[in-house]
Amino acid sequence: MTGSEIERRRIMIVMGVFAALALITPFLDLFLQSLVTEILVFGILAMSLDILLGFTGLASLGHAAYFGVASYASAIIMTKQSWTVTYAIFTWTDSSGLGLFYLFIIGVLVAVAFAVLFGFLAIRAKDVYFLMITLSLAMVVWGLAYRWSAVTEGDNGIIVPGRPSLFGISLEEGLPFFYFTLAVFLLCLGVIYLITRSPFGRTLVGIREREERMEMLGYNIWLHKYLAFIIAGTFSGVAGVMWTLYNLFVSPPDVELITSAEALFMVALGGPATLIGPVIGAAIIRSLQQLASIYVERWPLILGSIYIITIMLSRLYGVDGILGIANKLRSSSAAADNSEG
């Protein structure tokens, strides 16, 4: 089987899984419907981080910042009546069924603006310094969310009364909102997949593998990393707007370190540079969190344990994440089949 055939088969499998999900979800109870929707929202966040961590090899510990600012921005423009201009535009677009577009445009633009600024400050740093800088910059956002209470309501967070409709179709019910989320998710998956298969996407992998060589081959690696950072921030922003729409509530913990760390775990757990792996990671981590929510204070401990187990298994098999381990098991059993036959 050639490489492109394997690739085509993988695409078919992924499309089949999501088609099945679309068919099954109406029969799930409300709790599970909501969980699936939440997983898709965090799946977008995890895929966006995969562009940085998996494809470019940049471990950002502040990826929730772009998610957070987009989340806050969309919540603010829906609720802040004293900001007459943004609120007037919202009510006007909402009344014509275009409110969602307005939210996404503003939310994602704000995320992009932050990524443009923060990326510029962070991208020259390497390894642990990059980790520290992205973390500190995200703390700035957290500080804003927490302290700038005139706009963000500080500790209380912002409660959003409801979701705008899409061309007059109400998304207030769980099921229509699930389908909307699935559509946004698939759009993001498709676009990010296309980017990773593009010439530009390949340069990111080259940078991950060996920066000095890429420079010597004529690449301005600073520019490539910076663009990757902005693209990742953009999709993180999409996830942030989706989070506001899903949760109808935004508060400082959404932009905290734990959210950034969770996103990193999702990628590492599922398998970096696979896009689908991080989504699987998101599914595992968000499901466990729902189950563990009764023991909220133990959550970081559980998260940490999962992470350590994945790392150890990955070391053992010499591969990355769950998808990597699965592939390894499959190929070794295939090899066993061949030797038997």
Partner 1 sequence: MAETETALELKSVTKQFGGLMAVNDVTLRLGQGERRGILGPNGAGKTTLFHLITGVLPLTSGEVLMYGQDVSDWKTHRRVAMGMARTFQITSLFPRLSVMDNVILAVQGLRKMKMVMWRPLSSFPEVFEKTEQLLTQAGFWELKDTEVRNLSHGEQRQLEIVLALASDPKVLLLDEPSAGLATGESREMADFLKSLDPNISILIIEHDLDVIFEVASHISVLHYGELLTDGPADQIRNDPRVQEIYLGKG
Residues forming the site for partner 1 (CB under 8 A): 3-4, 194-195, 197-203, 205-206, 209-210, 212-221, 231
Rounded to the nearest whole angstrom, what is the least distance from the CB of residue 87 to partner 1 in the complex? Answer: 35
Determine the Cα–Cα distance for residues 115 and 65; give it in Å rounded to an integer.
Answer: 9
Determine the Cα–Cα distance for residues 43 and 47; give it in Å rounded to an integer.
Answer: 6
Rounded to the nearest whole angstrom, what is the least distance from the CB of residue 107 to partner 1 in the complex? Answer: 22
Determine the Cα–Cα distance for residues 135 and 62; give it in Å rounded to an integer.
Answer: 5
Residue closer to partner 1 by CB (options 37, 236) is 236
Rounded to the nearest whole angstrom, what is the least distance from the CB of residue 259 to partner 1 in the complex? Answer: 27
Residue closer to partner 1 by CB (options 155, 215) is 215
Determine the Cα–Cα distance for residues 297 and 320; give it in Å rounded to an integer.
Answer: 29
Residue 194 to residues 3, 199, 202, 281: CA-CA distances in angstroms? Answer: 17, 10, 11, 21
Residue closer to partner 1 by CB (options 103, 204) is 204
Determine the Cα–Cα distance for residues 174 and 26; give it in Å rounded to an integer.
Answer: 10
Question: Do 272 and 320 form a contact (C-beta atoms < 8 A)?
Answer: yes
Residue closer to partner 1 by CB (options 23, 216) is 216
Q: Which two tokens stand for residue 264?
A: 């990193």
Question: Do 104 and 243 form a contact (C-beta atoms < 8 A)?
Answer: no
Rounded to the nearest whole angstrom, what is the least distance from the CB of residue 137 to partner 1 in the complex? Answer: 25
Residue closer to partner 1 by CB (options 158, 325) is 325
Rounded to the nearest whole angstrom, what is the least distance from the CB of residue 249 to partner 1 in the complex? Answer: 35
Rounded to the nearest whole angstrom, what is the least distance from the CB of residue 202 to partner 1 in the complex? Answer: 6
Rounded to the nearest whole angstrom, what is the least distance from the CB of residue 90 to partner 1 in the complex? Answer: 31
> What's the full length of the chain, in residues?
341
**Which residues, including other chains, have CB under 8 Å from residue 240's CB and lie 6 or more apart?**
45, 66, 67, 68, 69, 70, 71, 72, 74, 107, 111
Residue closer to partner 1 by CB (options 201, 252) is 201
Residue closer to partner 1 by CB (options 269, 273) is 273
